Amino acid sequence: MIKGFIFDLDGVITDTAELHFLAWKALADDMGWQFDRDVNEKLRGVSRMDSIGIIMEHNTVSLPEDEVAALATKKNDIYVASLDQITTEDYLPGARELLTHLRQEGFKVALGSASKNSTKVLQQLNATKYFDVIGDGNSVSKSKPAPDIFLFGAEKLDLKPAECIVYEDAESGVDAAKAGGFFSVGIGPKDRVGHADVCFSSMKEATLFEVKSHFKE
């Protein structure tokens, strides 16, 4: 029986991908690195340190670990400053309605994001009230596609994976949900999240009614 929902943040609740892109682009320009939206697409759901690794590999650049960490911090400072522009109007269409509906129906709800800045993003959206548990990049050390972040959420909700539905927009996020034994809802194109148990092109279609019809009570 489904008792809980675990949501990814970027690409499911709100679209912070553009702000991540602008911050990485500022760093890349500063460093003389090539970086465009195609490379940015590879960073979806990927942790900050893995993201800078992908960008450096794309530019065939290699640097000492401490310098890489300093550059990731520089990008993060730019990104965090840009979060001030997120408002309560910046939910992806359908996300706030679904979170409200889950509260009304008494489901348990957790966040399962790779971001270490999820608290700030949820505050800007005024969305903290919809979550019983916040699981993010600060909660576990192994990032997606490892299932750890979703297992953390389920455990804190006091539920088994088989009692939870995970919403994800990233390929690695759906892999993580499947590896943990969760039901998965993919948000986005089939070539990205088509391996989820059920896939919707946007959050607007992924209503409680629709999703419940795919998973036996």
208 belongs to an annotated ligand binding site: no
Contact letters for Mg ion, residues 142-181 (x by CB under 5 A): ---------------------------xx-----------
Round to whole Å and give the CA distance between 111 and 9. Answer: 7
Please report where in the chains the tokens 């993201």 appear, as a residue: 51
Is there a contact between 165 and 5 (Cβ–Cβ < 8 Å)? Answer: yes
Nearer to ligand B16, 31 or 83 (CB): 83
User: For the packed helices 65-82 and 48-58, what is the interaxial angle rounded to 10 degrees?
Assistant: 110
Judge whether 132 counts as a catalytic residue: no
Collapsing DSSP to helix, strand or coil, 3 comes out as coil
Between the CA atoms of 40, 42, 43 and 44, what dihedral angle is there, to the nearest 10 degrees?
Answer: 100
Note the residues at the interface with ligand B16 (CB under 6 A): 8-11, 20, 43-48, 51, 76, 113-117, 137, 170
In the complex, the smallest distance separating the C-beta of residue 39 from ligand B16, rounded to whole angstroms, is: 12
CA contacts within 13 A on the Cβ side of 26 = 16
Least Å distance between CB 67 and Mg ion?
Answer: 28
Contact in structure between 177 and 168 (CB atoms under 8 Å):
yes
User: What phi and psi, each to the nearest 5 degrees, are found at residue 167?
Assistant: -100, 125
State yes or no: 113 annotated in a binding site: yes
Tell me if 24 is assigned to a ligand binding site: yes
116 binds, among Mg ion, ligand B16, none (CB under 5 to 8 A by kind): ligand B16
143 is in an annotated binding site: no
Instruction: Determine if residue 48 is labeled as part of a ligand binding site.
Output: yes
> Which tokens go with 183?
């039901």
188 binds Mg ion (CB under 5 A): no
> Is 8 assigned a catalytic role?
yes
CB of 44 to ligand B16, least distance (A): 5
Output the CA–CA distances (angstroms, integers) from residue 7 to 43, 110, 159, 165, 206, in the order listed. Answer: 18, 6, 15, 8, 12
Total residues contacting Mg ion by CB under 5 A comes to 6
Taking CB under 5 A as the criterion, the residue among 10, 136, 148, 171 binding Mg ion is 10
Report how far residue 120's alpha carbon sits from residue 91's, in angstroms, rounded to the nearest whole number: 14
Q: Which residues bind Mg ion (CB under 5 A)?
A: 8, 10-11, 45, 169-170
**Sequence ranges of the binding site for Mg(2+):** 8, 10, 168-169
